[in-house]
């Protein structure tokens, strides 16, 4: 790669935490091979957009971003524009045909070759370069030795433990472009977390498409429990957070470990999608209303201080007013700590695409707003109940948006949930005791308590 040291590369990251890890790997690989990285894409000769292709809104955001940065070819230093990630894997031909500003697409299995790809495209400068496709494989797993530049703060990190998914929810296109489940070796994940701890990371956030399926591709149903016990033994790591647990796979053994192991935070991210049995069947979800209700009761019985976050889809084909009302009653009764609500996106290539999209768009949006309003009241009450309590908070630092010092409880995931706005002064990455003095439906407000002198 003779010209790498002369080339500036800018990367724009879109989408979920799993995408962020892929972006971090691309940045690390580019730097490893001598490319110069810049946070200002206007100064870059190569601009890479790591796209999301999950639902309509995310796809449109990715396309708009490609068009926006494509203008740099006329107005800036940009010579090469590449689309990477999920949208590139899902629609490579369409992107190249419809977006002439693109010089190539790099899918979800080929992004580790990004330095080689940039070098190749740059070497063809002045010639026709517009039909480059690197989308042969849907899946790539990084390893502990893979170069990586983290985009998160120094004190926390995402760790992807598997890729792909063996479930086939009828609304979800992800397996079609991310592939089936492939799990990383336990020893490799453990090595990565040890390295992160040595770098000052105190919180690791384990991510996967279906975290509770970890190891099942090797027919090893005990792999996740074994991995968590090993990670809990890593010195320097204080919090371990689990993302995206599938309802039928959240076992008593895992809940018992969460309750007994202080490093595994009492936080459950469990996408439920709906509660109406007919809708769940049409979604091809495993389990039914009875299973879900029993599971939630079991979670709270075994882990009393747990924070539960879930997501729902409204407007799925066949969702009647009665089915939606059932979902509203369920949310009011269960009093989740936080929920996300998506309007159903009619995705080509999914089994649900064959169903008639019967719920009008305006009804979907109205249902989304109604459900979120219900949850707002619940979240406000839960947050106000914390006023006057003393909480342990991990300090994240001063927000670039609000210019206020912020931190999080163990029940607040980074970049997803609310924060604790802090009165006082301390460093990012510190654990402090905080008295909660006020609350909104999203955030808490508190003052940092002085450290009591030792006697």
H/E/C letters for each residue in the chain?
Answer: CCCHHHCEEEEEECCCHHHHHHHHHHHHHHHHCCCEECCCHHHCCEEEEEECCCCHHHHHHHHHHHHHHHCHHHHCCCCEEEEEEHHHHHCHHHHHHHCCCCCEEECCCCHHHHHHHHHHHHHCCCCCCCCEEECCCCCCCCCCCCCCCCCCCCCEEEEECEECCCCCCCCCCHHHHHCCCEECCHHHHHHHHHHHHHCCCCEEEEECCCHHHCCHHHCCCCHHHHHHHHHHCCCCCCEEEECCCCHHHCCHHHHHHHHHCCCECCEEECCCECCCHHHHHHCCCCCCHHHHHHHHHHHHHHCCCCEEEEEEEECCCCCCHHHHHHHHHHHHHHCCCEEEEEECCCCCCCHHHHCCCCCCHHHHHHHHHHHHHHHHHHHHHHHHCCCCCEEEEEEEEECCCCCCEEEECCCCCCCCCCCEEEECCCCCCCEEEEEEEEECCCCEEEEECCCCCCC
Which pLDDT tens digit goes with each residue over 60-101?
999 999 999 999 988 878 999 999 999 999 999 999 999 999
Q: What is the mean pLDDT of residues 40-64?
A: 91
Q: Which fold would CATH assign to domain 156-384?
A: pyruvate-formate lyase- activating enzyme (3.80.30)
* Domain ranges within the chain, ordered by starting residue: 4-134, 156-384, 390-448
Q: Is the pLDDT of residue 381 over 90?
A: yes
Domain 4-134 -> CATH class: alpha beta
Note the pLDDT tens digit of each residue in 194-214. Answer: 999 999 999 999 999 999 999
| pLDDT, position 454 | 44
pLDDT for 455 equals 39
- Average pLDDT value for residue range 22-33: 96
Residue-level pLDDT at 340: 96
Report residue 407's pLDDT band, with 50, 70 and 90 as the boundaries. Answer: very high
Is 80 exceeded by the pLDDT of residue 134?
A: yes
pLDDT in tens, 148-200: 999 999 999 999 999 999 999 999 988 988 999 999 999 999 999 999 999 99
Would you say residue 257 has pLDDT above 90?
yes
As a whole number, the mean pLDDT across the chain is 93
Of 98-102, 197-201, 333-337, 364-368, the poorest mean pLDDT is in: 98-102
8-22, 121-135, 253-267, 307-321: the lowest-pLDDT one: 121-135
Pick the CATH number of 390-448 from 2.40.50.140, 2.40.70.10, 3.40.190.10, 1.10.10.10: 2.40.50.140
- Percent of the chain residues topping a pLDDT of 70: 96
């Amino acid at each position: 790669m003779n010209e790498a040291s002369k080339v500036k590369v800018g990367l724009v990251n879109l989408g979920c935490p799993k995408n962020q890890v892929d972006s971090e790997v691309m940045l690390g690989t580019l730097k490893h091979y001598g490319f110069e990285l810049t946070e200002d894409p206007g100064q870059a000769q190569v601009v890479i957009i790591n796209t999301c292709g999950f639902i309509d809104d995310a796809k449109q955001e990715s396309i708009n971003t490609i068009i926006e940065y494509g203008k740099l070819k006329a107005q800036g230093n940009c010579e090469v524009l590449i689309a990477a990630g999920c949208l590139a894997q899902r629609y490579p031909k369409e992107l190249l045909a419809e977006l002439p500003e693109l010089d190539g697409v790099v899918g979800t299995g080929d992004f580790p070759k990004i330095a080689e790809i940039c070098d190749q495209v740059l070497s063809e400068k002045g010639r026709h370069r517009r039909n480059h496709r690197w989308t042969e494989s849907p899946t790539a797993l990084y390893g502990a030795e893979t170069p990586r530049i983290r985009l998160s703060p120094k004190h926390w990190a995402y760790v992807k433990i598997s890729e792909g998914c063996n479930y086939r929810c009828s609304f979800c296109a992800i397996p079609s472009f991310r592939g089936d489940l492939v799990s990383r070796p336990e020893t490799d994940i453990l090595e990565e977390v040890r390295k992160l701890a040595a770098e000052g990371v105190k919180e690791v956030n384990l991510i996967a498409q279906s975290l509770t399926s970890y190891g099942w591709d090797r027919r090893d149903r005990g792999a996740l429990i074994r991995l968590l016990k090993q990670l809990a033994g890593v010195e320097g790591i204080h919090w371990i957070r689990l993302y995206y647990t599938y309802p039928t796979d959240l076992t008593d053994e895992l809940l018992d470990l969460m309750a007994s192991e202080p490093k595994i935070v009492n936080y459950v991210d469990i996408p439920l999608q709906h509660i109406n049995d007919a809708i769940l069947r049409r979604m091809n979800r495993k389990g039914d209303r009875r299973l879900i209700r029993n599971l939630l009761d079991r979670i709270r019985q075994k882990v009393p201080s747990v924070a539960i976050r879930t997501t729902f889809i409204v407007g799925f084909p066949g969702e009647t007013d009665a089915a939606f009302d059932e979902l509203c009653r369920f949310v009011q009764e269960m009093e989740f700590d936080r929920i996300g609500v998506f309007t159903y996106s009619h995705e080509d290539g999914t089994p649900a695409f064959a169903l008639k999209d019967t719920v009008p768009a305006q009804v979907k949006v109205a249902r989304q707003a109604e459900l979120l309003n219900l949850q707002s009241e619940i979240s406000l009450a839960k947050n106000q109940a914390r006023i006057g309590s003393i909480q342990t908070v991990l300090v994240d630092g001063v927000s670039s948006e609000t210019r206020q010092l912020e931190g999080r409880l163990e029940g607040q995931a980074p970049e997803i949930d609310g924060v604790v706005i802090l009165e006082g002064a301390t460093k990012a990455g510190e654990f402090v005791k905080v008295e909660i003095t006020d609350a909104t439906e999203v955030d808490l407000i508190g003052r940092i308590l002085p450290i009591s002198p030792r006697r």
